[in-house]
Amino acid sequence: MPPTEESHLPVTATSVVVHPLVLLSVTDHASRMAISARKRVVGVLLGQDMGKTFNIANSFAVPFEEDENDPKTLFLDHDYIYGMLEMFKKVNVARERFVGWYHTGSKLRSSDLEINHMMKRFTPRPVMVIIDPRREDVGIPTDAYMAVDEIKDDGTATQTTFMHVPTVIEAEEAEEVGVEHLLRDIRDTTTMGSLSDRVSQQLLSLRGLHRRLLDIRDYLAAVMRGELPVNHEIVYELQNVFNYLPDLEKPETVRSFRVANNDRLLIVYLSSLIRSVIALHALVNNRLEMAHGEHKDQVAPETQEPKAPESSETPAPSS
């Protein structure tokens, strides 16, 4: 199959756009595999290579096997990929082309460079996207990488390595409607009610924020110790984040926090008071019902008619 992109395109991309349909397809692919096996799945990504941006709109699974003990021993069905690409070409002639491949998991594998080299027979610069369908924290479950050639320090040879590319999740209007209808039928059995659902989501968000703050702290500490070079772009972004933070020592900010906190405490106090009144009302009703039942039991024997006393005489024997 001839390359689908021109060779004059840049080697690396600045961003990778992943559509929700790809995430749903990869999640379904991973769920059909044995969870106990803990094996990753591999598939093909389809979309458009626009030079600086990859638009990934579709995907399909590929038969794949590998030896966990020997990463170099693996099987990837190329004939299956050729057949699927021919079928997709009949449906979408120009919109969806081979742009890269994906695998599930949370990190890079030692055999990823070899698989990426195999994918170059379909496109000159494939993008690799790692999708984690079992991710529990809040965040984008995708990480994109592209293979680049780096020259060694001595300048004698080059080595191929992966460079991270930022990813974003975007959807068209039709995809948003479909995802909303799909999520409407999905319910988490561990949460009950809208209040519990919101509290769970806020807890997950706080955990994700805490994890990212720890990453920022570790990075800055490594820069201070001289283990990592200073990246001015990261420092500028951190400075922008700090600039957006409110001044907690300003009287207006302190007053607004107090007012909001008092409003929340007032709601909690009123809820506790209403709950106590309802419980007391139920207790009074219960005591009245029990007293009324005891009164009925005492009046019932007096209203009954007395029974005729049984005769103590023995009947005379018949002749």
Percent of the chain with pLDDT over 70: 77
Six-digit token string for 122: 């379909």
Residue 256: which residues within 8 A CB-CB, separation 6 or more?
A: none
Beta strands 158-165; 53-62: pairing state = unpaired
15-185 maps to which CATH number? 3.40.140.10
Are the C-beta atoms of residues 19 and 171 closer than 8 Å to each other?
Answer: yes
Are the C-beta atoms of residues 137 and 211 closer than 8 Å to each other?
Answer: yes
Burial call 175-191: b when 16+ CB within 10 Å, e when fewer:
eeeebeeeeeeeeeeee
CA dihedral (89, 91, 94, 98) positive or negative: negative
| 99 CB burial (10 A radius; 0-12, 13-18, 19+) | buried
- pLDDT digit string (tens) for 164-204? 888 888 877 777 777 776 666 555 545 445 667 778 878 88
Q: Which amino acid is present at 46?
A: L
Higher pLDDT, 39 or 117: 117
Domain coordinates in residue numbering, the chain: 15-185, 196-245, 252-287
Beta strands 53-62; 42-49: pairing state = antiparallel
Please tell me whether residue 254 adopts helix, strand or coil conformation: helix
Q: Would you say the pTM of this structure is higher than 0.75?
A: no
Query: Nearest Cα to 48, choosing from 102, 96, 101?
Result: 96
Looking at residue 253, what is its pLDDT?
A: 84
Residue 25: which residues within 8 A CB-CB, separation 6 or more?
A: 43, 58, 59, 60, 61
What number of other Cβ atoms are within 10 A of residue 84's Cβ? 18
Looking at residue 8, what is its pLDDT?
A: 38
Q: Is pLDDT at 6 greater than 90 in this prediction?
A: no
Looking at residue 273, what is its pLDDT?
A: 92
Q: Could you give the CA distance from residue 54 to residue 126 in angstroms, rounded to a whole number?
A: 10
Six-digit token string for 51: 């030079």
- pLDDT digit string (tens) for 226-250? 898 888 888 898 888 888 888 888 8
- pLDDT digit string (tens) for 86-95? 888 877 656 7
Q: Could you give the CA distance from residue 208 to residue 138 in angstroms, rounded to a whole number?
A: 6
- pLDDT digit string (tens) for 97-146? 888 999 888 788 878 888 888 888 888 888 999 988 777 666 778 888 88
C-alpha of 134 from chain center? 8
C-alpha of 199 from chain center? 16
